[in-house]
Amino acid sequence: MHPNWIDLAARMGKLGVYNAALLTPRNLSSQFFSGRTVVHPRAHKFVFVAGPLKGHVARRKTGDEFWQEISQIYVDEDLRGNGIVREMVFELIARTPAVIQLFGITSVRTVMTVFEECQMDAITKATMPDVEAWAERLGIRERLPESALSPDPPQPCDKERWLFVR
């Protein structure tokens, strides 16, 4: 296992905001080598960067082969505010096969803004009445944000969990 994955998993794990069962060096490496991850500094499957990985975003598979989640968005604290999250998310979307639809769940205003720039819509029952059945099909029902169950039109707020769909 490359030491960069061990280091990245440890740094992301210290934040306590990621699913620990999925945040293993093996999972991070597997996502990267399957083409479902963008890292910073940029790395290619066959040419790995020297030094630590400072940013990461992945596409996570779901229970529906045509839906994947934009997840594990991470940038080292010293690089935040430099547009790296935006660059990585835009690149991840550009690399996504046309048959795959994307969604993301976040409580971070910066990520919400990036999702909106990527033409992702905040979801409530007003915009997706069958959101619970959709979430059940994808295997994410237990993680569905309360905001997605609201009958009101979406109004995303910082520090509130929101579902975005593209």
Rounded to the nearest 5°, which phi and psi values hold at 9?
Answer: -60, -40
Q: pLDDT band at residue 49, thresholds of 50, 70 and 90?
A: low
Distance CA 42, CA 67 (A): 25
Q: pLDDT tens digit string along 132-152?
A: 999 999 999 999 999 999 999
Q: pLDDT band at residue 155, thresholds of 50, 70 and 90?
A: very high
Of residues 31 and 125, which shows the higher confidence score? 125
- pTM for the model: 0.88
Superfamily of domain 3-165: Gcn5-related N-acetyltransferase (GNAT) (3.40.630.30)
Q: What is the pLDDT of residue 41?
A: 83
Instruction: State the chain's mean pLDDT as an integer.
Output: 91
Rounded to the nearest 5°, which phi and psi values hold at 25?
Answer: -55, -40
Tokens representing 104 are 């993301």
Res 1 pLDDT > 80: no
Q: What is the pLDDT of residue 81?
A: 87
Res 93 pLDDT > 90: yes
What is the DSSP annotation of the chain? --HHHHHHHHHHHHH--S-TTT--HHHHHHHHHTT-EEEES--BTTBPPSS---EEEEEEE-SSTTEEEEEEEEE-GGGTTSSHHHHHHHHHHHHS-TT-EEEEEE--HHHHHHHHHTTPEE--TTT-TTHHHHHHHHT-GGG--GGGG-SSPP---TTS-EEEE-
Res 78 pLDDT > 80: yes
Locus of tokens 């069958």: 130
Q: At what angle do helices 84-95 and 109-117 cross, to 10 degrees?
A: 40
Give the amino acid at 88. Answer: M
